[in-house]
Amino acid sequence: MNDMLKSMSVAASGLQAQGTRLRVISENLANANSTSEVPGGDPYRRKTVTFAAELDKAIGAEEVKVRKVGTDNAPFREIYEPSHPAADANGHVKLPNVNMLIELADMREAQRSYEANLQMIDQSRSMLMRTIDLLRS
């Protein structure tokens, strides 16, 4: 495998990792108001993604992998709403520890990284084509 193909494959791993990140972000956003089904129970807990560099032995380059989809241990928000089905004995309802602003910022960062990887593929491809074009001269 030549350097250009390797570089494209590494960038593709980046695309995939950022894709997973975006999926988790959308899970968080979609469940920003998911409460528990039982009274006094815990609501949806925010998920987090961590990356790790991993050496792909087949091509000898460090790709990026999603290391773990973990959970955020931040405390839940609580509101007083006795009529809510998930309210506990005191009338408190636990809401997910999802902060829209953080998710949106995270989303934007994922988008930037995705774009950077895309551009990398684009450029490697054009360099490859340039080399092939030498045959035409």
Partner 1 sequence: MDLPGIGLFRMISQQLHWLGQRQEVLSQNVANADTPGYQARDLQPLAFGDALQQAALRPAVTHTGHLLGKTADPAAAKVKTITPWEVSPDGNGVVLEQQMTQLAETQADYQMATELYRKQIAMLKTAIGSNRT
Instruction: Kindly state the smallest distance separating residue 39's Cβ from partner 1, in Å.
Output: 39
Return the number of the residue (38 or 104) whose C-beta is nearest partner 1.
104
Q: Which two tokens stand for residue 111?
A: 């988008």
User: What are the φ and ψ backbone dihedral angles of 28, each rounded to 5 degrees?
Assistant: -60, -45
For residue 58, what are its two tokens? 């087949």
CA 86 to chain centre: 29
Q: Rounded to an integer, what is the distance from CA 22 to the centroid of its chain?
A: 4
Question: Which of the residues 52 through 71 are near partner 1 (CB under 8 A)?
Answer: 52-53, 61-64
Q: Does 120 bind partner 1 (CB under 8 A)?
A: yes
**Residue 107 near partner 1 by CB under 8 A:** no
Contact between 51 and 17 (Cβ < 8 Å): yes
Q: Nearest to residue 37, comparing CAs of 70, 84, 78? A: 84
Closer residue to partner 1 in complex, CB, 2/83: 2
User: Under rule CB under 8 A, which residues in 2-41 are in contact with partner 1?
Assistant: 2-4, 6-8, 10-11, 13-14, 17-18, 21
Residues with Cβ within 8 Å of 102's Cβ and at least 6 positions away in sequence, in order, are: none
Cβ nearer to partner 1, comparing 17 with 93:
17
Binding site for partner 1 (CB under 8 A): 2-4, 6-8, 10-11, 13-14, 17-18, 21, 50-53, 61-64, 109, 112-113, 116-117, 119-120, 123-124, 126-127, 130-131, 133-134, 137
